[in-house]
Structure 1
Amino acid sequence: MSLCKFYGYWISTALLSVLYLASAYMYATKGKWVREALTELGYSANNLVPFMVIVKVLGPLAILSRVSVPLSDLAYAGIFFHLLLSGLAHIGVRKPAGALPAAVGLALLATSFMTQNDARDMPSPYVQAAAL
């Protein structure tokens, strides 16, 4: 086990989790502002915000707890698509600065995903496939 990859995993995973949990907190406490921001991106946000609060808490929880490797891998996939679509939505409305948190999140996600087998006892079969 590489010590650099071990720390790389835990630091990137912790920072990704903080990013998501801070976002969930903002969604829960500043609902009106979040709905207006999502409307500017072209989304009908009335039903989206409560769902996103739950998803933004459960995703990092599934990765950190690792109660199930398939569930953890599913959380990685969900977060990947969420960050990708979030960044593209900001770029699509010509607000590229709004895509910066998504870009940072994607970098943290890639680091966390690619180094998880070096830090966890139960390996993910998808890491080896992604490395090929």
Structure 2
Amino acid sequence: MEKSNKIIYYGSTGLLSVMMLMSAGMYFVKHEEIASVFTNLGYPSYIIYPLAIAKIAGLIAIWSRKSNLLKEWAYAGFFFDFVLAAAAHISISDGEQFGAIIAAVLLLVSRFYEYKVYST
């Protein structure tokens, strides 16, 4: 059972990390496209770079596990990011909310199994 918990934890955290790194990378590389999407969603475009940096910092906090407080803040920050992203996409009916929903599910699985793996 312990081995399967680790596989689920590292698998979900790895997939979540790939999604976050791809997202942050797009924020830097395709800034103009992302800025128009953020504007359509009702968010200001000046939050794109800080959000990209926060995503990378959150991944570092989760993977390094140096500080439980920072790790928990990273999980919480990602959760709010995904919920707000899904709500924004649903509110304008563009059908793009599924990425945020998948990321939220991966986040919840990662957090649940992180507790199972490292609490013993």
Q: Provide the C-alpha distance between the structure 1 equivalents of 2:60 and 2:11, rounded to a whole number of angstroms.
A: 15
Aligned to 2:92: 93
The superposition leaves residues 8-39 of structure 1 with CA deviations (integer Å, 9 ceiling, x where unpaired) of 00000011011001100000000000000111
Q: Provide the C-alpha distance between the structure 2 equivalents of 1:9 and 1:74, rounded to a whole number of angstroms.
A: 18
Return 5+ residue gaps in structure 2 as ranges: none
**Does 1:35 pair with 2:39?**
no
Displacement of 1:103: 0.7
What is the DSSP-based 3-state SS (H/G/I as helix, E as strand, rest coil) of the residue aligned with 2:66?
Answer: coil
Aligned to 2:47: 48
Q: TM-score, normalised by structure 2?
A: 0.94
Which of residues 118, 122, 126 is equivalent to 2:116? Answer: 118
Match for 2:105: what amino acid? A
Displacement of 1:6: 1.0
Match for 1:3: what amino acid? K
Structure (1/2) with the larger helix percentage: 2
Q: Provide the C-alpha distance between the structure 2 equivalents of 1:112 and 1:20, rounded to a whole number of angstroms.
A: 14
What is the 5 A alignment of 1:1-132? 2-45=2-45, 47-95=46-94, 97-120=95-118, 123=119
Displacement of 1:118: 3.1
Q: Provide the C-alpha distance between the structure 2 equivalents of 1:23 and 1:103, rounded to a whole number of angstroms.
A: 14
Match for 1:75: what amino acid? A
Return 5+ residue gaps in structure 1 as ranges: 124-132
State the number of aligned residues.
Answer: 119
Where has structure 1 moved over 6 Å in runs of 4 or more?
none
